């Protein structure tokens, strides 16, 4: 009884070590220089073309951010095998652009996270941010509500925090929602 338990623990430890090594290796490969090369290889986007995910990205110089969505997109992007209609505003957030300065009397919410929050594979109006904005507008018709969709497929917690710091806080959100899955916590665990 004791020997099978030790073998099982050894196997689990080996798998865990391999998992950590692979994640560190993958994170090291995703440098700004590597990403710039991949974007260049993908070539420029053409009008009416379905974009590859890499073509929807731009490299960011801010610490921890690495990449975000290119501003001014309006088309279809293939993300993880799903076709996603994607429109971005001037800041590179998914959906309509919002004025940097929050209009008086407006409640502004920022939604940060990964592909789940971004709404990969969904029409813009079906994303968490759009549904929340619509429902709050229905529930509180006398108050203007804006929900900025700052989610980006592939983001982890570190990138979400960097997005908050470098892009979102300048928009004066009253509330910040963070939607991440367990795999997005890998860099901090």
Q: Which two tokens stand for residue 168?
A: 């979102």
pLDDT tens figures, 101-141: 999 999 999 999 998 999 989 999 999 999 999 999 999 99
Question: Which residues on adjacent β-strands are paired with residue 139?
Answer: none
Q: Find the mean pLDDT for residues 140-163.
A: 93
**What is the dihedral sign for C-alpha 111, 153, 75, 165?**
positive
Contact of 39 with 30, CB cutoff 8 Å: no
Q: Find the mean pLDDT for residues 28-36.
A: 64
Q: What is the pLDDT of residue 88?
A: 94
Q: What is the pLDDT of residue 186?
A: 58
**Mean of per-residue pLDDT scores for the chain:** 83
- Please list, in sequence order, all residues whose beta carbon lies within 8 angstroms of the beta carbon of residue 145, skipping any fewer than 6 positions away: 106, 107, 108, 109, 133, 136, 137
Q: Could you give the 3-state DSSP secondary structure of residue 152?
A: coil
- C-alpha 184/C-alpha 113 separation (Å) is 9
Of 35-39, 137-141, 147-151, which gets the smallest average pLDDT? 35-39
């Amino acid at each position: 009884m004791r020997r099978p338990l030790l073998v099982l623990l050894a196997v689990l430890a080996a798998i865990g070590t391999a998992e950590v090594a692979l994640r560190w290796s993958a994170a090291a490969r995703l440098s700004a220089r590597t990403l710039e090369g991949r974007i260049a290889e993908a070539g420029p986007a053409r009008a009416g073309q379905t974009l590859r995910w890499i073509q929807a990205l731009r490299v960011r110089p801010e610490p921890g951010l690495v990449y975000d969505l290119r501003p001014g997109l309006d088309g279809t992007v293939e993300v993880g095998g799903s076709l996603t209609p994607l429109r971005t505003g001037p800041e590179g957030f998914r959906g309509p652009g919002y004025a940097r300065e929050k209009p008086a009397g407006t409640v502004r919410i920022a939604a940060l996270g990964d592909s789940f929050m971004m709404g990969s594979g969904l029409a813009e109006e079906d994303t968490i941010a759009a549904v929340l904005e619509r429902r709050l507008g229905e529930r509180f018709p006398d108050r203007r509500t804006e929900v900025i969709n700052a989610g980006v497929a592939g983001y982890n917690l570190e990138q979400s925090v960097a997005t908050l710091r470098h892009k979102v806080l300048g928009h004066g959100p009253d509330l910040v929602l963070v939607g991440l899955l367990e795999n997005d916590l890998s860099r901090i665990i």
